[in-house]
Amino acid sequence: MKGRTIILDHLKDREAAALMVDGKLEDLLVEADAPAPGTIYRARADRPVKGQGGMFLTTPDGPAFLRQVKGLAPGELLLVQVSSYAEPGKAIPVTTRLLFKSRYAIVTPEAPGLNISRAIRDEEERDRLLEIAHAEMGGAEHGLILRSACAGADEDEIAEDIAAMASLAAQVMGDTGTETEVLAEGDGPHALAWREWSEPADVVTEPGGFDDHGVLDAIDTALGIAEPLAGGGTLYVEPTRALVAVDVNTGADTSLAAGLKANIACARALPRVLRVRGLGGQIVIDAAPMAKKDRKTFESSLRAAFKTDTDETVLVGWTPMGHFELQRKRGRVPLREVLS
């Protein structure tokens, strides 16, 4: 099936959203039990962690950890936002840099200024969006970023989105409560799909959409360790407690360039494979055999593939044993854990 299709459905009574592109599962969002990134707390400082420059905090959802703390004393109240999902048994990662993000707008408290996504290059369109931004945020103490989804979007819809985020920011930043509390919930899968999957697509909301559009079959593949690659190779993805091991297999191809071809196919597929499986942290790739002179080609393919990925990924480099390492933000709970 050609084109982009967004399917909003449920998996085991959990809210879920799937993005299918040309019949392939490109992205998958599933509701988790842990607090969603974007959740904002009024938290209480608990105890500092010596040697790490961090502080454990108390929140309504359990302990949280804030890095790079200065001048914060135990017992103080502060506003923090969940930055990613916690590893099992660890505190919720939070930050004091709050962002109020929607489909068109990101309101940035304590970072004034009006900015437009660099992806929007047309000068007339940028001027149009600046007029909307000034009309909605003129004189506001908070900053604003207009996202790439604004390009060509309806003026009233953009203005409404800006106003909603500005109102929420004013409400949260003006909080005067004295107890720990959840001040704003992070977006669930359906809201997140509307926010992040902004390119034109057919939207399916009828129950059973996952079954009708092949999403369930794709999820079955994602729950396994094997992922077929273009050209006949196979990617084996095995999460452990310490890291995610990725092994590249050339399959039946016995040509001299088999290793390089399989590794390039791995680089192009890896962002989607990790995204759908909800995997992050340390990623170690055991690449197929190839000449050392081809490593730069492989790295360039990896860099290009992750450039547009939604979760921040750092390409660390090669190990002495010839493995390639990545460090990826834990932006999701692993699919196996959510559906277990």
What CATH number does residue 68 fall under? 2.40.50.140
**Quick one: 110 and 80 in the same domain?**
no
The parts of the chain modelled with pLDDT lower than 50 are: none
Q: Rounded distance, CA 30 to CA 17, Å?
A: 7
Tally the domains of the chain: 3
Phi, psi of 189 (to 5 degrees): -55, -40
Domain for residue 207, yes or no? no
Single out the residue in 79, 97, 115 at which a domain terminates: 97
Residue 84 in any domain: the answer is: yes
Q: Would you say 74 and 118 are in contact if contact means Cβ atoms under 8 Å apart? A: no
Both 161 and 252 in one domain: the answer is no
What is the predicted pLDDT for the residue at 227? 95
Instruction: Say if residue 117 is in the same domain as residue 92.
Output: no
Reduced to 3 states (helix: H, G, I; strand: E, B; else coil), residue 126 is helix
Q: Are residues 325 and 239 part of one domain? A: yes
Range(s) of the domain holding residue 121 = 100-177
The pLDDT value recorded for residue 16 is 97
Strand 4-11 versus strand 202-204 pairing type: parallel
C-alpha atoms less than 13 angstroms from C-alpha of 145 in its C-beta half-sphere: 14
Same domain for 126 and 152: yes
Q: Strands of the chain (E only): list them.
A: 4-11, 14-21, 24-30, 40-49, 54-59, 62-66, 77-82, 92-95, 100-101, 105-108, 114-116, 143-146, 181-184, 202-204, 226-228, 234-239, 244-249, 281-286, 313-318, 324-328
237 and 283, same domain (yes or no): yes
Determine the residue type at 17.
Answer: A
Whether residues 232 and 328 fall in one domain: yes
Q: What pLDDT does 72 receive? A: 87
Residue 304 burial (C-beta neighbours within 10 Å; 0-12, 13-18, 19+): exposed
The per-residue pLDDT for 171 is 94
Which tokens is 223 given? 């729950």
Report yes or no: 268 and 287 within 8 Å, Cβ to Cβ: no
The answer as to whether 106 is a domain residue is yes
Give the pLDDT of residue 252. 86
Is 234 in the same domain as 321? Answer: yes
User: Considering the domain boundaries, does residue 56 fall inside one?
Assistant: yes
Please report whether residue 65 resides in a domain. Answer: yes
Q: Are residues 239 and 144 in the same domain?
A: no
Instruction: Say whether both 80 and 138 belong to one domain.
Output: no
